[in-house]
Structure 1
Amino acid sequence: MDAITDLGWQGWLSLGLVALSFALFLRSRLAPDVITSGALTVLLVTGVLTPVEALAGFANPGMLTVAVLYIVVSGLKETGAVGWIGQTLLGHPKGETNARLRLMLPVAGLSAFLNNTAVVAIFIPAVTDWAKRHQLSLSGLLMPLSFASIVGGTCTLIGTSTNLVVNGLYSSQSGGLSFGLFELAWIGLPLMLVTLVFILVSARWLLPNRVAASTRFEDVRRYTTEMLVSTDSPLAGKSIEAAGLRQLPGLFLVEIERDGQIMPAVSPQVLLASGDRLVFAGMLDSVVELHRIRGLVPATNQVYKLGGPRQERCFVEAVLSNKCPLVGVSVREGHFRGYYNAVILALSRNGERVQRKIGDIVLEPGDTLLLETRPDFVLQQRNSKDFLVVSQFGDEHPLHHERAPIAIAIVATMVGLVAFELLSMLEAALLAAGAMILTRCTPDRVARREPDWQVLIVIATSFGIGAALEKTGAAALLAGSLIELAGGIPWLALGLLFVAAAVLTALATNNVAAVLLFPVALDSARLMDVSVIPFLVTLMVGASASFATPIGYQTNLMVFNVGGYRFSDFIRIGVPLTILVGAVTVTLVPMIWSF
């Protein structure tokens, strides 16, 4: 009671703002960064926090490491390294259970070393295509994809932003002490095993069978495009089926031209050879993805005559008007590239493919073109009478596959420097990000926009709110209540901390839960005179155990619409999984890191 009386208006204001923030997370359409920024502003203007205290989160090493790692991962994405690894590892599944195992193992492994949000972003299109090719339920794969990435991230310090954030706070409080890069594997690996087994065993009863959002809107336009198997292509010598070119979703291999001979109705067992010209027909999304496959290059040499590296170009969709001066002449005769500084990669006419080589096609009004060009083409031609519609195809652009080994080497070096304690995580990440840009694995324009500023602002502002809880004594009050509820038993207090973290992350986000409960974990250990390490590890796992709702973790939100899920789908499988992870965590953590 004395603690409650001594809390003061500053403590009650801090607690009230935390409660209000979580209520807004749950029931408001306001963005999380707006909510936490608003709460921090109130604490600043009321004098609860000084400007230095309020803004300290923006200089926290954990938050900065998360920001820099976005750039490191962009190098892997821009070179196609992670996408290529994922496609290679998925292979040919033998049923739904085998497909889930083939998916979750590499995703969990990659998420231990890469930001799990980036891993899921890369795997979603790959899994979507994979499911279509092998007649698999997409809703039976995407939720395991997200869960595997979450639990994989608990295995290392850099696997998830939650671990980095808590470690950054711990280092600040302890004067430089820090968790080792692989120290969390002692609890992460058992949790990974338990999670994978649980999903594989229970999927038949707990995973839904939904109609994905992507299947409701089929692109009726059919494009014609031509690709060459490059001289150093890893696809050379592989059968069409083994190369993954037979069952591309909405895209069909029409024919192969080899040494002047045409092979129509191609068998899936035909072996590809360097120099083969492949003619495809299909949907725009798949045509664009085709141009991002390692070992295939556009059949036209015009793309190599455009200015600047391919990585700095983009894909643009344009519809010809009847005013276009090139209407009525073939693509080759009209010198389309020289006229517009753009190359036609694919063409659709009245929603159907044109059965001629692209260079021989005579252009007509209404033809829809997929172009490879520079980003300024859209601004230059948007109001041109030559085109009815001009629009950039998302943020898609050709990849720099030949630099993939460099990107992988940079990440491996970063991990090695941290593992052998030669550099801190932030220092190694900064060097890796700089190396990605200097080696042109990622263009600087891409590197600038890669960080997810909403996530970073939520993390940084939450540091300030957590500092207010600590400064006003509100965190000590909560810790005292936690200990009283646990009867002073450290093991029980650990379990209650996990429950609090899991509930808060389900209602808000993992980083907010971790930051706000950090001072509670710290004070709980101090008041019971035990080691803080078990409490911090439990906090890391609890804040990452975002299985029960789609709003608690970014990867869940990413698969929510694509998989056609409902909110209740996550509750059905996520709640028992959270309970299982909590039981394993609270049992093992004190055995590994004693009180």
Structure 2
Amino acid sequence: GEFNFTRHYGAIVKEVKSGGQRFTRDLDKVTLHEGDTLVLWADDTFVPTWGESSVFLLLANGTDGTEPVSRTKRWLALGLLIFMIVGATVGELPAVKEAFPEIRLDMFFFVCITTIIMAWTKIFPPKKYTKYISWDILITIACAFAISKAMENSGFATLIARHIIGMAHNIGPYALLAILFIITNVFTELITNNAAAALSFPIALSVATQLGVDPTPFFVVICMAASASFSTPIGYQTNLIVQGIGGYKFTDFVKIGLPLNLITFLISVFVIPMIWKF
């Protein structure tokens, strides 16, 4: 009510879904939170103005907003696809690598070039897709890599590794895998998975180095634990989106997510060492 939603966005809020509850009355007293779903009553100007902005994630508006693409752009898109595949293939040849040692002409390189050209030639509307880039998450990941490097250079990761080894000294490497999984999984439930993996990596490397074993099973455990973000809606972006759309509560993720985390934990700790030996 204090914000005056109608004046700012030219739409009337008819319903708010927040934390598993639906509000249809006294909406001017409702406080909006991230992940809430709004049912709006708007005119034809709303979608062109706000549909492709970073303010709203448009789920449905009853019409297909995709504009037809010209024949020239279709052929250009096909040519860029061929360019990307051929370029990435040729770029991996030994002769090309020797000719351009300072540049990695891999698939990622050519995907970036293709995307820029497609956006420049307006084969797709850039605003429609760049709005989904979560800059705060990218900053969190970048900071996590910096912290990870600092942990490794300062010896803090080695110190943590010694404590972990001390706790599981009489149990063996399986216990170390379990502890590392739990640490990474707690990280990933609170921050993004990439940042959790970046923070856990130097610890795993120090543990493997001090034990004198192959670090591969520890790295794989980190990958699994960082990807097993089931217990909270804030652990991953899609969890948050589903919470708002489906009307789920925080406790719903805990009820279903914890058993999934436990299953992933047991499978990872016991199966990974069978495939990747210590």
For 1:575 and 1:419, the matched residues in 2 are separated by 43
What displacement does 1:565 show?
1.3
Match of residue 486 from structure 1: 168
The equivalent position to 1:565 in structure 2, one of 244, 248, 251, is 248
The equivalent position to 1:592 in structure 2, one of 266, 275, 278, is 275
What displacement does 1:211 show?
9.6
For 1:426 and 1:437, the matched residues in 2 are separated by 16
Q: Deviations over 1:236-280 (max 9, x none)?
A: xxxxxxxxxxxxxxxxxxxxxxxxxxxxxxxxxxxxxxxxxxxxx
Q: Which amino acid aligns with 2:227?
A: S
The equivalent position to 1:452 in structure 2, one of 131, 134, 137, is 134
What displacement does 1:589 show?
1.9
Change (3 A) 1:407 1:459: farther
Match of residue 547 from structure 1: 230
What displacement does 1:581 show?
0.9
Change (3 A) 1:393 1:520: closer
CA contact 2:20–2:249 (8 Å) conserved in 1: no
What displacement does 1:485 show?
2.3
Match of residue 399 from structure 1: 66
Aligned pairs for 1:107-186 (under 5 A) are: none
For 2:129 and 2:119, the matched residues in 1 are separated by 8
Q: Deviations over 1:412-458 (max 9, x none)?
A: 98689779983435314313422432453323444654432111111
Change (3 A) 1:373 1:467: closer
What displacement does 1:540 show?
1.2
For 1:487 and 1:416, the matched residues in 2 are separated by 52
Change (3 A) 1:373 1:560: closer
Match of residue 474 from structure 1: 156
| Higher helix residue share | 2
SS of residue matched to 2:65: coil
For 1:409 and 1:486, the matched residues in 2 are separated by 57
Question: Does 2:104 correspond to 1:437?
Answer: no
Give the % identical residues: 34
> Any unmatched runs of 5+ in structure 1?
1-209, 219-282, 286-316, 318-368, 376-391
CA contact 2:19–2:243 (8 Å) conserved in 1: no
What displacement does 1:493 show?
1.4
Aligned pairs for 1:112-511 (under 5 A) are: 217=24, 369-371=43-45, 392-393=50-51, 395=53, 398-400=65-67, 402=69, 422=92, 423-424=105-106, 426-438=108-120, 440-446=122-128, 449-487=131-169, 489-511=172-194
Change (3 A) 1:589 1:399: same
Q: Which amino acid aligns with 1:590?
A: P
The equivalent position to 2:259 in structure 1, one of 537, 561, 576, is 576
Q: Which amino acid aligns with 1:398?
A: G
Change (3 A) 1:284 1:481: closer
SS of residue matched to 1:370: coil
Number of aligned positions between the proteins = 223
For 2:173 and 2:77, the matched residues in 1 are separated by 45
For 1:521 and 1:494, the matched residues in 2 are separated by 9
TM-score scaled by length of structure 2:
0.65
TM-score scaled by length of structure 1:
0.33
Change (3 A) 1:409 1:545: farther
> Any unmatched runs of 5+ in structure 2?
1-17, 26-38, 59-63, 93-104
CA contact 1:212–1:562 (8 Å) conserved in 2: no
CA contact 2:141–2:192 (8 Å) conserved in 1: no
CA contact 2:19–2:249 (8 Å) conserved in 1: no
Question: Does 2:200 correspond to 1:533?
Answer: no
Q: Relative CO higher for 1 or 2, CA cutoff 8 Å, sep ≥ 6? A: 1
Q: Which amino acid aligns with 2:65?
A: P
For 1:406 and 1:569, the matched residues in 2 are separated by 47
CA contact 1:400–1:441 (8 Å) conserved in 2: no
For 2:216 and 2:20, the matched residues in 1 are separated by 43
SS of residue matched to 1:442: coil
For 1:212 and 1:465, the matched residues in 2 are separated by 36
The equivalent position to 1:556 in structure 2, one of 239, 246, 250, is 239
